[in-house]
Chains A and B, each alone.
Chain A
Amino acid sequence: MSSDSIDIINAFALLTNFVILPALSYGSQLALGALAVTLVYSVLRFSNFAQGDSMAFGTMIVILLTWFMINQGWTISGIPTALLVIPVAIIGTAIYLLSMDRLVYKFYRRVKAKSITIVMASIGVMFVTGGLVRFILGPRPQIFADGERFIFSVREFKAFTGLEQGIALKTSQFLTVTIAILLVAFVFYFLQKTKTGKAMRAYSDNKELALLSGIDPDKVVTVTWLLVASLTTIAGALYGLDKGFTPQQYHLLLLPIFASVIVGGIGSPLGAIAGAFLIAFSEVLLTYAYKKFLIYLLPLSMHPTSLVQLIGTEYKYAISFVILVIVLLIRPTGIFKGKVLVDE
C-alpha cells in the first residue's frame, strides 16, 4: 500500500477514536435522556426540568450499590459492577419519581394546571433532587467504573493492524451503544405493540377520549414514570461509566437533552433520538482539534501550525444553544415535525 493511502487510513483511525466513538456513545446517552423527556412531555404534558438531576439521582443509587457490592466482594471479573446493580437502582429511582409524582405533579393534574405551571413545579423538583444528591454523595466527582476498561486498547489495535494511529474501544462505549439500542428497541416495541403502550399513546393523543374508552389515567401515568425511571437510571449510569460522575455535570446535561428534544421535534420519540445524535456529533466535531488529522491528509507545505479547533471545549454547552436557536428560527417544529412549544 502506498504511504498516501496509509495516511488516509491513519487519519480516519484518528477520527474514529477521538470523534466517532465518543460522539456515538455520548449521543446514545443523550438519546435515552431525551426519550425520557419526550415520554413525560407526551403523556404528562410538561417539559421535565428535573431530568438531568433525576439522572444524577439514579446514578447515585447505582454508585452506592456498586460500592456496597465491591465491599462485599460480590463482583464478576471483567464486568462493571454498576451494570449488575442497575435493575435494583431502577426500582429505587422509580420509587423516587413516583413519590415526586404523588407529592407534586398529581395535584397540578387534578386542578388541570397549565403546563407552564407544572414546568415551574418541575424546576422545584430539579432543585430538591439535585440537593438530595449533593447531600448524600457530596458535590465532588465520583468514579465507580471497575472491570475491564477496554474491549481492545490502542496498543492492541496498533499491534494488530500495524497502523501508526490506534483505535480503542472502551467497555463503557461498547456497553452504552449496545444497551441504548436494546432499550430504545424495547421502548418502541412497547409503545407500538403492547396494549399498555397503545393506551399511553391514546392518552397522549386525546385524554378525554382515552377516559371514554375506559383507559385508566393513573395506570398510564404510573407506567410512564416506570419507563422514565428505567431510561433515566440507565442513561445516567452509562454516562457516569463513560465520563465519571459529578452532580453539576448531570445538572447541566439538561441543556443538550432539551436541545435534542426540540431539534428532533417535541413529542416525537424518533426525533428525540435523531436530535440527540445531531447534538452529540456537533459538540464533538466542533470541539475536536483537527491538527493531527489534517497533517495526515495535507501535503507538508499546507500543514497547520495551530490546533485547528473550531470551538474550545469549555464552550461545548453553547453549541446546544446555538443549534437550538437556529432550529427554532428556521424550523420550529424540529426535524420530525413535532409540536411547537406553546401552552395550549
Chain B
Amino acid sequence: MAYLEGSNLVAAYGVVPILHECSVKVEKGELAVIVGPNGAGKSTVMRVLLGMLEATSGSVTLDGNDISKLSTQERISLGLAFVPQNKNVFPSMTVEENLEMGAFLRTDDIKKTMEEVYTLFPILYEKRRQLAEELSGGQRQQVAFGRAMMTQPSVMLLDEPTAGVSPIVMDEIFSNILDVRDAGMAVLMVEQNAQQALNIADKGYVLVSGRNEHTGTGHELINDPEVRKKFLGG
C-alpha cells in the first residue's frame, strides 16, 4: 500500500458529480502529478484527500491507516500539508508571521525549520518583515510553499503551484519541489503546465471527467501518442 492513497473516490458538489471512482497514490520520496483538462476534477481530488470535501464512497489511507473520516485539521496534524492555488498566504501578516502560522500546531522549536525555508528561499529572509500582500506573485508562491513546509509534513499537496508565474519562476518552483521530494517527502501536485510537470514527475495521472484516463511514469505518459495528441498538443 502506498504512503498516501485515495482509492475509488466518488465525490460531488451538491448534486453535480465530479469524481467517478478515481484513484491516486503517492509514495514517500516520490513526485506524483495530476494533469487533465479543465473541470476534470483535479483540484477536487486534493480537496477529498484533505477532507475539505466529503467523498460519497472510496477511501483515503495514510501510511496504511484509514483517514477518510477525519476532519481536515486532524489530517493536517497527521502530516498532510496543502498549498492552495489562490489565496494561499495571509496577506496582512508579515512573511515571518505567515511561516509561524504554518507551524501553529507544533509545540517544539520551529527556528530550525524556518531557517530551512529561508535557505530554500533566500528572498523570503530578506523580506521577512514585509507584509505578504506587498510581495510579487512568485514570492507569494514561495511564502505559501514555505508556510506548508513549516508543518514538517510527510505529504505535500500542491494545487497548481506555477499558476500565473513567469517561466523562470516556474523552473525555480519546480526545482524547489524536487528538493522537497529528494528530502523524502511525498509530493502530489496538480498542474496546468502538463508537459513540464510530467517531465519531472515520477508518476503521472491523466484525469478526464473525474476518471483515471491514463496512468504511468512521467516519461511513459509523455511518450504515449494518445496522451500527446489529446493533452500535450501533439
Q: Which residues of A contact B (CB under 8 A)?
A: 195, 198-199, 201-202, 205-206, 208-216
Verify if B117 is at the interface (C-beta below 8 Å from A). Answer: no
Contact B87 A209 (CB under 8 A): yes
Counting chain B residues whose Cβ lies within 8 A of the other chain, the interface size class is 20 to 34
Q: Which residues of B contact A (CB under 8 A)?
A: 50, 72-73, 76-77, 81-82, 84, 87-93, 97, 100-102, 104-105, 147, 151
Offer 18 A-B interface pairs, CB within 8 angstroms, sorted by A.
A195-B100, A198-B100, A199-B101, A201-B90, A202-B93, A202-B104, A205-B91, A205-B93, A206-B89, A206-B90, A208-B87, A210-B90, A211-B73, A213-B76, A213-B147, A213-B151, A214-B73, A214-B77
Contact A213 B101, CB 8 Å, known A198-B93, A201-B93, A202-B93: yes
> Which residue of chain A has the shortest Cβ distance to B90 in the bound complex?
A205
Q: How far is the CA of A216 from the CA of B73 in the complex (A)?
A: 8
Q: Of A199, A206, A208, which is within 8 A of B104 by CB?
A: A199
Contacts of A202 in B (CB 8 A): 90, 93, 97, 101, 104
Contact A209 B88 (CB under 8 A): yes
Max chain A C-beta neighbours (<10 A), residue from B50, B93, B101: B101
Contact A213 B92, CB 8 Å, known A206-B87, A208-B84, A208-B87: no
> Which residue of chain B has the shortest Cβ distance to A199 in the bound complex?
B104
Contact B73 A198 (CB under 8 A): no
Max chain A C-beta neighbours (<10 A), residue from B72, B90, B91, B93: B90
> Which residue of chain B has the shortest Cβ distance to A205 in the bound complex?
B90
Contact A212 B82, CB 8 Å, known A198-B101, A199-B101: yes
Contacts of A205 in B (CB 8 A): 90-93
Contact A213 B72, CB 8 Å, known A201-B90, A202-B90, A205-B93: no
Max chain A C-beta neighbours (<10 A), residue from B76, B81, B104: B104
Contact A213 B102 (CB under 8 A): yes
Contacts of A209 in B (CB 8 A): 84, 87-90, 101, 147
Contacts of B87 in A (CB 8 A): 206, 208-209
Since A202-B101, A205-B92, A215-B104 are in contact, a sample of 11 more A-B pairs with Cβ atoms closer than 8 Å, ordered by chain A residue number, is: A195-B100, A195-B104, A201-B93, A202-B90, A202-B93, A205-B90, A205-B91, A213-B101, A214-B105, A215-B101, A216-B73
Q: How far is the CA of A198 from the CA of B93 in the complex (A)?
A: 9
Q: How far is the CA of A38 from the CA of B151 in the complex (A)?
A: 31
Contact B72 A211 (CB under 8 A): yes
Contact A212 B90, CB 8 Å, known A198-B100, A199-B104, A202-B101: no
Q: How far is the CA of A179 from the CA of B108 in the complex (A)?
A: 37
Contacts of A212 in B (CB 8 A): 50, 72, 76, 81-82, 84
Q: How far is the CA of A214 from the CA of B151 in the complex (A)?
A: 9
Of all A-B residue pairs in the complex, the 6 with the closest CB atoms, nearest first, are A214-B105, A205-B90, A202-B101, A213-B101, A213-B104, A214-B76
Q: How far is the CA of A195 from the CA of B93 in the complex (A)?
A: 13
Contacts of A215 in B (CB 8 A): 101, 104
> Which residue of chain B has the shortest Cβ distance to A211 in the bound complex?
B72
Contacts of A198 in B (CB 8 A): 93, 97, 100-101
Q: How far is the CA of A276 from the CA of B165 in the complex (A)?
A: 43
Min CB–CB distance B136 → chain A (angstroms): 18
Min CB–CB distance A101 → chain B (angstroms): 20
> Which residue of chain A has the shortest Cβ distance to B97 in the bound complex?
A198
Q: How far is the CA of A208 from the CA of B81 in the complex (A)?
A: 13
Contacts of B100 in A (CB 8 A): 195, 198
Contacts of B88 in A (CB 8 A): 209
Q: How far is the CA of A198 from the CA of B92 in the complex (A)?
A: 11
Min CB–CB distance A38 → chain B (angstroms): 13
Contacts of A206 in B (CB 8 A): 87, 89-91
Min CB–CB distance A113 → chain B (angstroms): 17
> Which residue of chain B has the shortest Cβ distance to A201 in the bound complex?
B93
Q: How far is the CA of A205 from the CA of B97 in the complex (A)?
A: 12
Min CB–CB distance A272 → chain B (angstroms): 15
Contacts of B77 in A (CB 8 A): 214
Max chain B C-beta neighbours (<10 A), residue from A210, A213, A216: A213
Q: How far is the CA of A212 from the CA of B153 in the complex (A)?
A: 12
> Which residue of chain B has the shortest Cβ distance to A216 in the bound complex?
B73
Q: How far is the CA of A206 from the CA of B90 in the complex (A)?
A: 6
Min CB–CB distance B218 → chain A (angstroms): 27
Q: How far is the CA of A209 from the CA of B92 in the complex (A)?
A: 13
Min CB–CB distance A254 → chain B (angstroms): 27
Q: How far is the CA of A332 from the CA of B81 in the complex (A)?
A: 39
